[in-house]
Structure 1
Amino acid sequence: MTVAQVRRRYAGLTALQILGTSMMLPVLVILMGERGLSVRDVGLVLAVGALSIALLEVPLGIASDRMSRRTALAAACLGRGAAFTGLFFASSLPQFIFWSVVFALGRAFESGPLQAWFVERTRNAATTPAEADLATSRGLGRGFATMALGGALGALLGGGLAAALPPEVTIAGVQTTGVAVPLLVAVMVEVVCLVAVLYLVTSQAREPDLRSTTVRHAVHDAARLVSTNRIFLLFACRWLLFAAAFQSFELVAPLYMRSEIGSAGSAASAFSVAIIVTQLSAAAGASLSGRLAGRYVWYRAVGLLSLLAGIAIMAAGMVPSTIGFVLCFALAFFLGGPVSALQGPTLHRQVDDTQRATLLSLESAVANVSVFAGSLALGWLVEATSLSVALVVAGVLAASAAVPSLLIGHRSLRDR
């Protein structure tokens, strides 16, 4: 398989992975409210889901490194599909919590194997290390772009279906609400994703013998990576800062829309539009990562992009209009789009194939912990001060992520 073929398969599967989830996001909170959950209950369900993902990331990352990439990705599809089905029928707080944990299982399985498969196949197909790094950056950039496009399309389909359908519908003799229908469509998407995974994710001619490593050794190696690899620790600092900063959009934007627009329904519609705009902006930014990787030193580019993204988030807290608010965040997502692809080759050089999914699961776990902490801290700031102050603080966090990026670059050059 050529580098181009691997890149196309990775991009398509990345979009499919996020499509079902992004269809669920615009309707889940509304659905829980319709089925009798209070605002506190809804917050509890979301918190349990986020915490479950963070706790499951590393164990399932280690597990996915000990099975084939195809098996791990198939398990992720089955987990998400089961969760969407359960959420469609859920009617009480315990049921919603249970299915949010099942969804977390699927999300935790999906975070590492696909990118690990792409990196492994790309490095095997490339003829030189330099070609492998450039192909990895370009492929990751295309993957992040298609993921953002898939997220925007899913949000559009989920919100559009919920808005177009009547409040009460009957499907196969089952009476339900219109906002629940996107969950059924998401189940169908997961079936398509499962078939695509089984067909497109092929094994290498000679895969590493992952089973020869015991679970104890795998856990020990992961702990050693966290505790002794200074480049990884700097990456973790960067993930903590950047993830917390961008969490401000999901937390602050709905509150901003509600305060500016007034009507809850109109504010929700405006937020859906904002999601689509920011995801398209992120896709546009990610699509430029290949050009940036070929022309600029990656850590300098990432440092500058982080600084500018932080300034854009701070500006969102100062502009006087809703349109200006959305445009500032669109710019921040555009600037943040190429970052992961640019730093990807250096990150993946920290491990071999037997730990690649574990590495990506550690990244996702750190990001989820940051999102959890950022939500609490920024929420407290909003209540104690104002939306503008919270966004300025978030912008400072994003800009501060430039520091570990530069340190990673200098240390990786020194270690060569």
Structure 2
Amino acid sequence: MDADALLASLRRRFVLITALNWLPNGIGMAVLIVLMDSRGLPLGVTGLIVALYSLTTVLLELPTGGLADVISRRGVLAVSAGLGSLAFCGLAVAASAWQFGVLYVLLGMARALSSGPAEAWYVDSVKAVRPHADIRKGLAASQTAGAVSLGAGTIGGGALALAPVFPDSGAVTALSAPMLLSALLNVVLLIVVVTGMRETARPSDGGGFGALLAGVPRTIASGAALGVRDRALGRLLTTALPIGIAVSSVELLTPGRLLDVTGDSGASAGAYGVITAIGFAANAVGSAASGLLASLLGGGGARTAVAGTLVSALGLVALFTTGSLEGTAAVAAAAGGYALMFLGLGLRGPVHAELTHHRVDSGRRATVISVQSLLMQGGGSLAALTLPLLAGAWSIPGAWLVAGLILAASAALYLGAGTPPFAGRRAPDRVVEQGTA
């Protein structure tokens, strides 16, 4: 197989794996809160269970990234798919708070394990074939596929729960159908990962599996230290904090704002579902158009990331302007601002990933992705603690304005981040048929 054909094959596999990774989550998460309510869990208990999921993900984010770098990206992602399938199977029949708690911990473990391995595998595989190959196209296609899968999964999961698939009797009800489908799709993901993510064995100094595990903490520390030593990389990683604040601001505050302007919980929930789907679609469009924008701006990844960040910030400012509107006009304006924010995130995402990967070596790639994910979750947690208080003291649109200003200011972090430190003399193309690890 020649180099171009192999690169195309790697890109197709990466896109498929990304789509299969996010589709089960979209389908299952669409009805999980409703499922817990139908099983008699109070809202406060549901909140604690969701927080347990988040805490599990945060605690395991860096260790699982280091594990993928040291042992196997394919192995870590396969375990993630297996845990996801087990968790969704359990959720289909869970009935008590402790059962949901345990299963949410499994989901958190699966989420942490899936953060980074596929992307790190793809970039390393491409560079093994052609060191200076364009990775942006594959990253953009992957992010587009992820957004489409989440959007389609959310809509499909909600529709499936309304279909007369199961009679409402016993532990298995109509709300179980999305859970079981998500479990099945995770099995499909597991098969695709095992058969499609061919990789070379990770470097080892000898000593067996115990020595490999001992290398995980060193890899984590090395990846975190790289972000401190390389100031440009540190700035790139820091942008995840304001992104987390921005995303959390719309996810936390949009439902309340819609309830304020509609005055009806059912109408606001329906409107939020539509707006969420619009956001996923806008994100997919932005990811697909990222390369075109980079070409229009002279091919500069940093320029495109700045533009995407400012578009997202403009979306939050547009949400702020909805404060003077009521009724249908406010809902329509909120949908426009929401879409604009996620369009900007899509435009930024692929070029941001490309800039980051150009500054990271293979041995720490998944770890650095996990550091970035952890920072984004940190930004989201900060927003969850502060923005509701700000919204109460001022207004929900006012909180959006503050988040938008923070995001706009973060665009400056991309200045000077466009030159990769590993850019050396161009090497000749070489075709590498990777063996299994």
TM-score, with length taken from structure 2: 0.87
CA distance in 1 between partners of 2:263 and 2:222 (Å): 52
1:209 aligns with 203
Structure 1 match to 2:240? 239
Give the helix-richer structure, 1 or 2: 1
SS of the residue aligned with 2:168? strand
Preserved contact between residue 304 and residue 347 of structure 2 (Cα < 8 Å): no
Deviation at 1:122, TM superposition (A): 1.3
The SS at the match of 1:196 is helix
> Which amino acid letter does the alignment assign opposite residue 152 of structure 2?
L
1:4 paired to 2:8? yes
Are the counterparts in 1 of residues 287 and 347 from structure 2 also a CA contact under 8 Å? yes
Cα distance between partner residues in 2 of 1:292 and 1:105: 36
Among 346, 370, 386, the residue aligned to 2:379: 370
Match of 1:336 in 2: 345
Amino acid at match of 2:256: L
For 1:332 and 1:261, locate their aligned partners in 2 and report how far apart those are by CA, in whole Å: 22
Kindly indicate whether the alpha-carbon contact (under 8 Å) linking 2:310 and 2:344 is maintained by their aligned counterparts in 1: no
Q: Which residue number in structure 2 is paired with residue 262 of structure 1?
A: 263
Moved beyond 4 Å, runs of 4+: 210-213, 411-416
Deviation at 1:414, TM superposition (A): 12
1:307 paired to 2:307: no
Offset from partner CA, 1:274-320 (integer Å, 9 cap, x none): 11111011101100122234433211221122122101111112122
Superposed, 1:20-99 pairs within 5 Å as: 20-99=24-103
By how many angstroms is 1:13 displaced? 1.1
CA distance in 2 between counterparts of 1:408 and 1:265 reads 46
Aligned to 1:143: 142
What is the CA–CA distance in structure 2 between the aligned matches of 1:300 and 1:312, rounded to whole Å? 19
In the alignment, which residue of structure 2 is the partner of 1:318? 321
> Which moved further from structure 2: 300-309 or 223-232?
223-232
Higher mean displacement: 105-114 or 24-33 = 24-33
Unaligned runs of 5+ in 2: 207-211, 425-437
For the 8 Å contact 1:79–1:105, the answer to whether it is kept is yes
Distance 1:180 1:389 in 2: 39
Q: Give the stretch that moved more between structures: 395-404 or 254-263.
A: 254-263
Q: Is the 8 A contact 2:92 2:179 kept in 1?
A: yes
1:77-101 per-position Cα deviation (integer Å, ceiling 9, x unaligned) = 0111112122222222222222111
Which secondary structure does the structure 2 equivalent of 1:75 belong to?
helix
Q: Which moved more, 1:35-44 or 1:15-24?
A: 35-44
Find the counterpart in structure 1 of residue 428 from structure 2: none
Residue in 2 that maps onto 1:348: 357
Matched AA of 2:405: V
Residue matched to 1:187? 183
Deviation, 1:137, is 0.9
AA partner of residue 267 (structure 1): S
Q: Is the 8 A contact 1:51 1:368 kept in 2?
A: no
Per-residue deviation, 1:199 = 1.9
SS of 2:359 mapped into structure 1 = coil
Alignment-mate amino acid for residue 164 of structure 1: A
CA contact (8 A) 1:234 1:407 kept: no
SS in 2 for 1:374: helix
Asked if the contact 1:246–1:394 (Cα under 8 Å) also holds between the matched residues in 2, the reply is: no
Instruction: Name the amino acid aligned to 1:316.
Output: L
Amino acid of the structure 1 residue aligned with 2:148: L
C-alpha displacement at 1:413, in angstroms?
8.1
Q: Deviations over 1:51-74 (max 9, x none)?
A: 211110101111111222221111
1:215-266 CA distance string (max 9 Å, x none)? 3432431342243232232123210011211212211121122223333333
Shift of 1:415: 9.9
Contact 1:67 1:211 in 2 (8 A): no
**Letter matched to residue 189 of structure 1:** L
Please state whether the residue corresponding to 1:106 is helix, strand or coil. helix
Other structure's SS at 1:177 match: coil
Q: Residues 386 and 166 (structure 1 numbering): CA distance in 2 closer, same or farther, change over 3 Å?
A: farther
One-letter amino acid matched to 2:197: V
Of residues 113-122 and 310-319 in structure 1, the stretch that sits farther from structure 2 once superposed is: 310-319
Aligned length: 405
Write the letter of the residue equivalent to 1:71.
G
Contact 1:231 1:412 in 2 (8 A): no
How far apart are residue 183 of structure 1 and its match?
A: 0.9
Match of 1:111 in 2: 115
**Structure 2 residue 125 is the aligned partner of structure 1 residue 121:** yes
Structure 1 residue runs without a partner (length 5+): none
Between 1:223-232 and 1:17-26, the stretch displaced more is 223-232
Contact 2:78 2:193 survives alignment (8 Å): yes
Aligned position for 1:276? 277
Question: Are the equivalent residues in 2 in contact too, given 1:87–1:99 (CA < 8 A)?
Answer: yes
Going from structure 1 to structure 2, the CA distance change for 1:219 and 1:211 (only over 3 Å counts) comes to farther
Q: Say whether residues 1:390 and 2:399 are aligned partners.
A: yes
Aligned to 1:228: 229
Report if aligned partners of 1:144, 1:286 keep a CA contact under 8 Å in 2: yes
Q: Distance in 1 between matches of 2:28 and 2:264?
A: 22
Q: What's 1:14 paired with?
A: 18
Q: 1:383 to 1:167 in 2, by over 3 A?
A: farther
**CA 1:45–1:185 in structure 2 vs 1: closer, same or farther (change >3 Å)?**
same
Residue 176 of structure 1 aligns with an amino acid whose one-letter code is: V
Q: Give the distance between the partners of 1:257 and 1:199, measured in 2 at CA.
A: 45
Describe the SS at the equivalent of 1:36. Answer: coil
